[in-house]
Structure 1
Amino acid sequence: MANKKGKRRFGSVRQLPSGRFQIRYPGPDGKMRSGGTTYATEREAEKQLSLIEAKLLTGDWTDPKRAKVKLSEYAAKWITERPDLRVRTVEIYRGLLRRHIVPYLGNVPIGKIDTAAVREWRAELVSAGVGASEVAKAYRLLRAVLMTATDDLIIPRNPCRIKGAGEEKPDERPVLTVAQVFKLAKMMPEHLRALVLLATFASLRWGEVVALRRKDIDLNARTVTVRQAQVELDTGELIIGPPKSRAGLRTVALPQAIIPELKRHLGNFTGPEPEALVFTGKRGGVLRRANFRRATKWGETVTTLGVPNLHFHDLRHTGNTFAAESGATLRDLMERMGHDSVRAAMIYQHRTAGGNRAIAQAMDDMINDDPDDDDGSAGGLALVG
């Protein structure tokens, strides 16, 4: 049935054999779309076309067909369409989806997810005993997925609007004293003592320190260069790749006080080849977290140290704290720690080693002047024996 008022300037209305009216209109991509419902009168259909035209003009239009896609399907595609994600990040995202999002919201069409549904989902996670940090991570992932759905014009706005829901408030992590760092190193098996010192005083992540090669350590210049990192997946697969971020590619100055122990380690436990791994398992294989914990009796050892809840990552945290206390600039600290800055260009600027060297010197002073070092194990580096 032709429109009696003549051709519309936007879209069209046609009468179906049933007697009801259907609309068709061009989306922002120029493709023609049919309305998702029909109308009893032509006037109602015309009114709906006018509303759609207004939304297109204001940028508030959303695609009704794509809004019917289930969240589980869209979220899975969201992950696969991000090729720059690190393998470990993909594993984490898929785990969060599988454990915390899909069981509750996976079968819900994206267009049906509103703030009330998100609030109820989050409350269910909390009541189920999911840890606060895990809930925050799941919320941030859902928010990111739905933000893309907003950008894709599938939903009008992101329903993840719960204030503070994505914030993590982790417990305050312990910071060791200089004396405790050296005492802990001394409590390690001989082939792992230097690992503790290097992870602490160079502020290295686990994946960075276990991926180091002989060529990465320059004893004369007193530096360690981070070129790659080891990632261990839940499946047990080990992947060697670039550091966590572009800022992770860095050269860190080392305090003189740990150089003798590094020299001893390289001479006794590291192969002569430039590509030889600096730290390995007892039999020379790649060092894994589980093997490290077993070899060091980590839980028992840190309890004896007096810090029973100490995690390996707390060594980096301790080193970061030492560096911050040296009075170095924020810029030098971020470079040393391998952190990305909002001013990403700063990462690539040519930097002098002055600030970095000042941090290492301050650490040396801290080590030599530590008042808690009763047995002289820090200043004298009495680790052998």
Structure 2
Amino acid sequence: MSSKGAKKTMTMRRFGAVRQYRSGRWTASYLDPTGLRRRAEETFETKTDAEVWLSQVEADITRKDWRDPDAGAVNFGEYAANWVAERGVSALTEELYVRLLRLHIEPTFGGWDLDEITAPRVRAWRAERLDTTGAPTTVAKSYRLLKAILETAVDDELIRRNPCRIKGAGKETSASGQVATVEQVDALAVAIGIRWRLMVYLGAYGPMRPEEQAELRRRDVDADNLTVTVRKAAPELATGKRAEGPTKSEAGKRVVVLPEFLRTDLQRHLDWFAERGPDGLLFVGEKKAPFRRSTFGRKWRKARGTVGMPDNFRFYDLRHTGHTLSTRSGATLKDTMVRAGQSSERAALIYQHSDHERQREVAGGLDRMVRATREKQRDQQKKGLSGAEVVRGS
């Protein structure tokens, strides 16, 4: 070592030690809880500054807040991959995580260590993603995923604090949640074709997720009592593979009571289109293949255009329609949550299961409301026809 940078003096303290370099700068060191000598990564202008730094380290050790300075030297890309593998999430959710990491997170953070990801860098990354992609919903999902991964890193004591601290950054502001009218639901059911008609109605008046309907079997349907039991789900991955498995949550396993006006549609679908045998799928294509999101998507877009619905009205928006119509017919929030198979930690503490009899009342309210709306529409059509006949007769 050059004499220019050699240490000049050393002062021992009750905790740690401070030394001065010939340059006049000061350094500090201490024994960590494992007995390993640790040295400050920076030098200090004065001896007081070095001693203040040691006091802060001592306080962290006393409060058991001390973190190994080298703990965060873990590659983010490797840590994130292990994080996803250890979650035990559904195949569809895992596919989403992997895609968000590959397209939006790892290009920036994949080569960095965990402790190199700072709050300013997270803010810069988010701003760049918003500007480049123009997709705030996707950026919000990516931010939530990054925050969840780094929160686990905090729990693992690899970093001291989560650098994802942007208020509201994980909130989605998508255009979903649109509501169709009874007339529009009927029009969509007609336009999509008789084979898929029931699927539209179950989406709105179930209200069931498409991946839940994709796994419905003949044995799940009780046509006499107008009930459908949701036991599993079969979301379709980007590869086209059906990922058969549990419902989105435990609340997803439920018995849905259908409104009376669907009796004919339900029985007709069982007679004409469902696979035979107790385990036969309820919904299959013209070539008897299982439901496919891509094929159905084309039919859905065509039907939506025929009816004149906006391009951003998704099949999932039928569920929101079902929520709204159920509420208008007298259902409570508890009733609609149970009917739709929704749950959350907060909801689990507040809401108890709406019993089967109450679900029959909700279905009855839906039935009365839809029938009244249809009757009103027929009356208006008759009046319009009568008016046209008067004009022709004059």
TM-score (structure 1 length as normaliser): 0.84
In the TM superposition, what is the alpha-carbon distance from 1:351 to its structure 2 partner?
4.8
In the TM superposition, what is the alpha-carbon distance from 1:106 to its structure 2 partner?
1.9
- The CA deviation string for residues 82-135 of structure 1, in whole angstroms up to 9 with x for no partner, is 22x112111111111111111112222221222111111111111212400011
Amino acid at match of 1:319: G
* Alignment match of 2:186 (pick from 161, 171, 182): 182
Query: Residues 50 and 354 of structure 1: is their aligned pair in 2 closer, same or farther, counting only changes over 3 Å?
Result: same
**What residue is the counterpart of 1:136 in the other structure?**
140
Determine the C-alpha separation between the residues in 2 that align with 1:351 and 1:293. 33
Query: Residues 359 and 55 of structure 1: is their aligned pair in 2 closer, same or farther, counting only changes over 3 Å?
Result: same
Determine the C-alpha separation between the residues in 1 that align with 2:38 and 2:240. 50
In the TM superposition, what is the alpha-carbon distance from 1:12 to its structure 2 partner?
10
- Which range is displaced more, 52-61 or 152-161? 52-61
Q: Secondary structure at the match of 2:377?
A: coil
- The CA deviation string for residues 211-244 of structure 1, in whole angstroms up to 9 with x for no partner, is 1001111112211111000111112221111111
Query: Residues 273 and 24 of structure 1: is their aligned pair in 2 closer, same or farther, counting only changes over 3 Å?
Result: same
**What residue is the counterpart of 1:97 in the other structure?**
101
Query: Residues 279 and 211 of structure 1: is their aligned pair in 2 closer, same or farther, counting only changes over 3 Å?
Result: same
Query: Residues 196 and 114 of structure 1: is their aligned pair in 2 closer, same or farther, counting only changes over 3 Å?
Result: same
* Alignment match of 2:310 (pick from 289, 302, 308): 308
Q: Secondary structure at the match of 1:35?
A: strand
- Identity across the alignment (%): 40
- The CA deviation string for residues 172-223 of structure 1, in whole angstroms up to 9 with x for no partner, is 5432211221222122222211111122110100100111001111112211
Gaps in structure 1 of 5+ consecutive residues: 14-19, 377-385
**What residue is the counterpart of 2:377 in the other structure?**
374
Determine the C-alpha separation between the residues in 1 that align with 2:196 and 2:68. 58
**What residue is the counterpart of 1:76 in the other structure?**
81
Mapped pair 1:25 → 2:29: no
Residues 36 and 65 of structure 1 are in contact (CA less than 8 Å); yes or no, is this contact kept in structure 2?
no
* Alignment match of 1:279 (pick from 254, 258, 283): 283
- The CA deviation string for residues 243-279 of structure 1, in whole angstroms up to 9 with x for no partner, is 1111101111100001111101101112331111011
Mapped pair 1:249 → 2:256: no
Structure with a larger share of its residues in helix: 2
Amino acid at match of 2:229: T
Mapped pair 1:109 → 2:127: no
In the TM superposition, what is the alpha-carbon distance from 1:156 to its structure 2 partner?
2.1
Aligned alpha-carbon RMSD (Å): 2.9
- The CA deviation string for residues 291-335 of structure 1, in whole angstroms up to 9 with x for no partner, is 1134x3x32321221203221112222112111222222222111
Determine the C-alpha separation between the residues in 1 that align with 2:278 and 2:39. 65
Determine the C-alpha separation between the residues in 2 that align with 1:150 and 1:141. 14
Query: Residues 372 and 110 of structure 1: is their aligned pair in 2 closer, same or farther, counting only changes over 3 Å?
Result: farther
Amino acid at match of 1:326: S
* Alignment match of 1:261 (pick from 249, 261, 265): 265
**What residue is the counterpart of 1:230 in the other structure?**
234
Determine the C-alpha separation between the residues in 1 that align with 2:353 and 2:128. 50
**What residue is the counterpart of 2:61 in the other structure?**
56
- Which range is displaced more, 300-309 or 235-244? 300-309
Determine the C-alpha separation between the residues in 2 that align with 1:186 and 1:153. 58
**What residue is the counterpart of 2:171 in the other structure?**
167
- Which range is displaced more, 204-213 or 71-80? 71-80
Q: How many matched pairs?
A: 358
Amino acid at match of 2:140: A
In the TM superposition, what is the alpha-carbon distance from 1:373 to its structure 2 partner?
5.7
Amino acid at match of 1:165: A
TM-score (structure 2 length as normaliser): 0.82
Determine the C-alpha separation between the residues in 2 that align with 1:201 and 1:292. 19
**What residue is the counterpart of 1:125 in the other structure?**
129
- The CA deviation string for residues 13-52 of structure 1, in whole angstroms up to 9 with x for no partner, is 9xxxxxx9964422xxxx55452658999x9998766543
Determine the C-alpha separation between the residues in 2 that align with 1:136 and 1:335. 28
Q: Which has the larger radius of gyration?
A: 2
Residues 22 and 45 of structure 1 are in contact (CA less than 8 Å); yes or no, is this contact kept in structure 2?
no
Q: Secondary structure at the match of 1:174?
A: coil
Amino acid at match of 1:336: R
Determine the C-alpha separation between the residues in 2 that align with 1:258 and 1:264. 10
Mapped pair 1:320 → 2:327: no
Q: Secondary structure at the match of 2:87?
A: coil
Query: Residues 282 and 50 of structure 1: is their aligned pair in 2 closer, same or farther, counting only changes over 3 Å?
Result: same
* Alignment match of 2:334 (pick from 331, 334, 347): 331
In the TM superposition, what is the alpha-carbon distance from 1:339 to its structure 2 partner?
0.8
Query: Residues 122 and 105 of structure 1: is their aligned pair in 2 closer, same or farther, counting only changes over 3 Å?
Result: same
Amino acid at match of 2:67: T
Query: Residues 172 and 280 of structure 1: is their aligned pair in 2 closer, same or farther, counting only changes over 3 Å?
Result: closer
Query: Residues 335 and 34 of structure 1: is their aligned pair in 2 closer, same or farther, counting only changes over 3 Å?
Result: farther
Query: Residues 305 and 327 of structure 1: is their aligned pair in 2 closer, same or farther, counting only changes over 3 Å?
Result: same
Residues 70 and 107 of structure 1 are in contact (CA less than 8 Å); yes or no, is this contact kept in structure 2?
yes
- Which range is displaced more, 53-62 or 162-171? 53-62
